[in-house]
Chains A and B, each alone.
Chain A
Amino acid sequence: MFDATDSAASGSTPGVQAPRVGVFVCHCGGNISDVVDVKRVAEEAARMPDVVFTTTHMFHCSDPGQALIEQKIREHALTRVVVAACSPTLHQITFRRAVERAGLNQYLFEHVNIREHVSWVIEDKEAATAKASRLVRAAVNRARLLVPLDKRRIPIHPAALVIGGGVAGLMAARDLGDRGMKVTLIENRPFLGGRMAQLWNVFPTNEEARPLLSDLVRDVVKHPLITILTGAHVVNSEGVVGDFKTKIKIDARGVDERLTYPGNAIAACPEETISEFDFALSRRKAIYMPYPGCFPPIPAIDWHTCTKCGKCVAAVGGKGINLDAKPRELTLHSGVIILATGYDPYEPLLGEYGYGIFPKVITLQQLHRMLDPEGPTAGALPFDSNTPVRIGFLHCVGARQIDGVNAPQPDGKVKDYCARTCCTAAMHAAVALRERFPKSHITSFYQDMRTYGRGHEEYYEQASQLGVLFVRYSPWHPPRVDKDRAGKWPVVVRTNDLLTDGLPIEVPLDLLVLATGVVPHDISELVTMYSCAVGYDSFLLEVHPKLRPVELAVSGVFLAGCCQGPMDITEACSAASAAASKAAAMISQGQVEMDPFIASVDEEVCTGCQTCLTVCPYDAIVRDEARGLAIVSEALCTGCGTCAAACPSSAIQQAGFNDRQVRAEIDVLLGPVVGRGPVQAPAEVVT
C-alpha cells in the first residue's frame, strides 16, 4: 500500500528532499477534540512511513501554535508538514506562511480538514476519530509525494482599461488616474455620461444630475493619465491578468474639433430619427448632440440615419465634418480591466399596464426627461399648474415579477428581483410633482415600499405629508390599466387595495408613471470574451458578495456599478471606487501571484493525439506541429486539471494533483484498518 519506490524516487529527484513528515493535529479549542480523539489521531499518524514527528496543540493557528510548527520543522529537519485542523479555505494560507518562515517550500504543506468535514458533522466519537485518522494518514501519504512548487508570478502591464463611460466608469477612471495609473476609458456611445446624464434631478441630495456629472467628466477629461475613446466597441480580447490585449473598433465620429458652429450643421440636416436619449419623446437629427454641455462637446453622426447628402458640410463651410470617415481598430494593452457597462431601464412590453397603447402611460425615465429644463418639453408637463391634475405612480414594473402572473420576457424568464432604486426614485418624483402642482392628486400603487437607503425614507415621509395617496396591491393580482368608458379620463387603474382589506378601487388618472426596473445592459459578447460569471438575474456575479464584492472570478477583471446589479448612483460610485482601489492595488504590486497547479506534458509519453486541446477551457494547450506534441502555455493555464483527466496516455500531469498524489490518498483511505498489519516503529509522539 505504501509505495517504497515513490519516496526513493522523490529522494533522488534533484531539488526534492527525502520525506520527513511532521503531523500537527489541532484541538481547535474543543471544536475538534470534543468529538475526535486527537491524541489517537496523532498516534496512528505516527505509524505511517516517513513520519518522524507528531503532536497536538490547542490552537495551531495561534501565534504559539504556528511557532511550534516552525520550531519542529527546524528541530526535526522536517521536509513535509501535515496540519489537521479547520477548512483549508480558512487557514491554509496561515500554515503555508508558517512553513515558509521555517525555510520550507510552502507547497510541501498539506492541510487536512477534520473540523468542517469531521467533528462538526459526525456525532459518533469513535467513527469521527476513525475518519479523522483516515484523512490524516491519507494526507501523510500524499504529503510524502509532494514536490516544491513556485508560485507563478506574472508581471503586470501598468495600465487599466475601463469599459463604460457612465458615472461608475468615470469614477473608476478618475480614482485610478489619481493614484498615478494609466487609464483608458472606452464608451460605446458617442458621448460620455451614460444613464446619469438622462436624469433630471437625483436623490438623496435633490441636486441636478448633469452639473454633478460634468464636474466628474471635467476631472476625467483634464486628467493627464486618462485617455478617453468614445464610440469604441470591444471586438476581441486576448491574454490574461497582467497583460490583456483588447482589440477595439472605434466608430467614425465624422466630426472633429474644427467644427465651430455645430448648431448650423444640425439645423441644416434634413434627416430625423427617434431620440434614444429622450426615450422616444422627441426626434433628433442624423448629426446630433444629446444635450448642451455634453462631452465630447462636438456632435456625432449617426451613420444609420445619415444619407451623406452633404448639407451639414455646406452649412459650416466644409470645416470639421468628414462624411467619408472610416472606423478604425486598435489594440489596447492593460494589466487589469474594470467592467462598468451599466444598466438599461426596463422597457415595458407592449400593452404592459397600457404602455405603448395609452399615450398618457409613460415611464419614470420619460418623466425625468419631461421635467428636465433641457429636455424635450423644456421642463413643462402638459398640465396647467392650477388644474387638479391626477397622476399615478405604479411601482414594480419589470421588477419582483412572479412566474405565472406576469408575462415572461423574450428570454422566457420574469424579472423577479427587486430593482432597488425605483421606490425612492418614484417618491422623489412624486414629491417634486406635488411641489410643482400643488393642486395635483397623486396616487402611488405599490407592493412594498422599499425606500431603504440613508435619506431615502424621508422621501416617503415627505410624500405622505404632501398628501400622496398610497394604494397597496397584491403582486398576485397586479392592477389593470384600462381606458375610461366615459371618455373623461385618459386612463383608469383598477385594483384591490390591501390597506383597506382588499377593497376594489378604481382610480381615474391624467398621467400614469411606470416606475420601471433595471436590467443589465446587453454585454453578452463581453461575457463570453472574459468568461464572466453571470447570476440568475443576468447581472455579472462577483466572487463573494461580502469578502470579494467587486472582483470577478476571472483574475484581473473587476466590477463597477450596475453591471453587477441594481444600484443607485451613490452605490455605483462606491462600487467604482472599490473596484479602482482593488485594481490599483493589483497594478502597484507589479506582478500577480497565481497557484502553481498547472499542467505539464511528459514529452516522452505524449502521442500528440490532441484530446487535451479539445477539453481545455482556456485554449492553453497548443500542438507543436514539428514534434507532434502538445505544449501547455504556462501563462494561460489556470490549473483546473481537466486535460490531465482527459489524456489517454497520462502524459499530462497537474502539479500538486498528479495521479500518484491522488492515488496515494485513495490507497490509504481504502487501506486496511490501522493496527492490523506489521508497521514500523512509531515516531515520536508529543502530546
Chain B
Amino acid sequence: MSQVETVQPPAETETPLAWEPRIIAFLCYWCSYTGADNAGTSRLKYPANVDIIRVMCSGRVDPDLIMIAFAQGADGVMVCGCHIGDCHYIAGNHKTMTRMPLLSRVLQDFGIEPERFVHEWVSAAEGDKFARLVRQVTEQVRQVGPLDWPGRMYRRGVGHGEDLQPWGDQA
C-alpha cells in the first residue's frame, strides 16, 4: 500500500521557482506555541516562510534535529521556549539556554551564518513578539540568501537522502 516516493535532488527540479526562505521553528507547547496562537488570535500578519514544529519543551530540541533540518534544506531554524523562570518543567529551558549558543558556534564553523539560527524566548502572551520575530528572521535569512545544503552536497558528489549530513563526506 505504501508506495515510496523517489527523492528528486533539489538541483534537478524541472522549473526552479523563485526562491523563498524555508525556515523551521521548534516551539515549546506551553509558552511559545501558545504565543504563536496568540499572534493568530490577535490577527497579526507575518510571512508564510516559517513552519512550526511543536515539542513539549524547548529542552527537547536536540541539536541533532537542528543539524538535520539544515541538512534537509532549511535556510533557517528558530528555537523558541518559555522565558527563564517560566518553564513548565522547572528548568528545561536552562538546557536550551546553554545548548543553543554552543550550537550556534558549531554551525558557524560549518559556514552556516549566525543569521540562519535564532534562539529566542517567547511567552504565551507575546504574540506580537512572535510575529515580529518571524518577520525579522525571514528578512534576515532572505538577506543572506539560500543555504541549499543538500544541493551543495549533491554538487560535491556526497550523495543525497539519509546520508546527507552536514558534517560528513560519507558516500
Query: Which positions in A face B, CB cutoff 8 Å?
Result: 1-2, 4, 7-8, 18-19, 49-50, 87-89, 113, 115-118, 120-124, 127-128, 130-131, 134-135, 138, 531, 533-534, 553, 597, 615, 617-618, 638-642, 644-646, 650, 654, 657, 659, 662-663, 665-667, 669-673, 676-680
Contact = CB atoms under 8 A, between A and B. Distances in A.
Contact of B45 (A121, A534, A641): A121
Interface in B95-143: 95, 99, 131
B2 A670 contact: no
B80 interface: no
Given A531-B90, A642-B60, A676 B14 contact: yes
B59 A641 contact: yes
Contacts of B78: none
Contacts of A533: 86
Contacts of B95: 615, 642, 645-646
Given A116-B40, A662-B65, A670-B24, A89 B34 contact: yes
Contact of A666 (B2, B34, B68): B68
Contacts of B37: 87, 89, 113, 116-117
Pick the 4 closest A-B CB pairs, nearest first. Answer: A116-B40, A641-B60, A642-B59, A640-B89
Interface string B14-37: 100100001010000000011011
Contacts of B10: 672
- Main secondary structure, interface of B, reads loop
A49 B73 contact: no
Nearest to B65: A662
Contacts of B61: 645
A667 B56 contact: no
Contact of A121 (B1, B46, B72): B46
Contact of B62 (A122, A659, A672): A659
A540 to B, nearest CB: 13
A351 B62 CA distance: 54
Contact of A670 (B46, B47, B72, B87): B72
A645 B60 contact: yes
Contact of B65 (A123, A663, A676): A663
Interface of B: 1-8, 10, 13-14, 17, 22, 24, 33-34, 36-37, 39-41, 43-48, 51-57, 59-65, 68-69, 72-74, 85-92, 95, 99, 131
A333 to B, nearest CB: 23
Contacts of B131: 121
B142 to A, nearest CB: 14
B13 A672 contact: yes
Given A49-B4, A122-B47, A117 B59 contact: no
A615 B91 CA distance: 9
B88 A678 contact: no
A445 B72 CA distance: 67
B48 A122 contact: yes
B30 to A, nearest CB: 8
A640 B85 CA distance: 15
Contacts of A677: 5-8
Given A4-B2, A677-B5, A678-B5, A134 B51 contact: yes
Nearest to A599: B60
Contacts of A597: 56
Contact of A116 (B5, B36, B48): B36
B3 A680 contact: yes
Contact of B60 (A89, A120, A134, A644): A644
Contacts of A642: 57, 59-60, 89, 92, 95
18 contacts: A2-B4, A49-B2, A49-B5, A115-B40, A117-B37, A117-B40, A120-B40, A138-B53, A533-B86, A615-B95, A617-B90, A641-B55, A641-B60, A644-B62, A657-B60, A662-B65, A665-B53, A669-B51
Contacts of A553: 88
Contact of A131 (B48, B63, B86, B91): B48
A663 B17 contact: no
Nearest to B62: A645
Nearest to A128: B48
Contacts of A117: 36-37, 40, 52
B101 to A, nearest CB: 15
A640 B16 CA distance: 41
Contacts of A531: 90
A404 B45 CA distance: 37
B167 to A, nearest CB: 15
Task: Kindly name the residue among A123, A615, A639, A650 whose own CB sees the greatest number of chain B CB atoms within 10 A.
Answer: A615
Nearest to A532: B90
A18 B2 CA distance: 10
A5 to B, nearest CB: 10
Contacts of B14: 676
A201 B118 CA distance: 57
A671 B74 CA distance: 10
A67 B151 CA distance: 46
B89 A617 contact: yes
Contact of A127 (B43, B48, B68, B87): B48
A676 B45 CA distance: 30
Contacts of A2: 2, 4-5
Contacts of B68: 663, 666
A1 B90 CA distance: 37
Given A121-B45, A645-B63, A670-B69, 12 more contacts: A2-B2, A19-B2, A49-B3, A50-B2, A87-B37, A116-B39, A117-B36, A117-B37, A642-B57, A670-B24, A672-B8, A680-B5
Nearest to A138: B51
A214 B113 CA distance: 69
A427 B168 CA distance: 75
Contacts of B7: 1, 672, 677
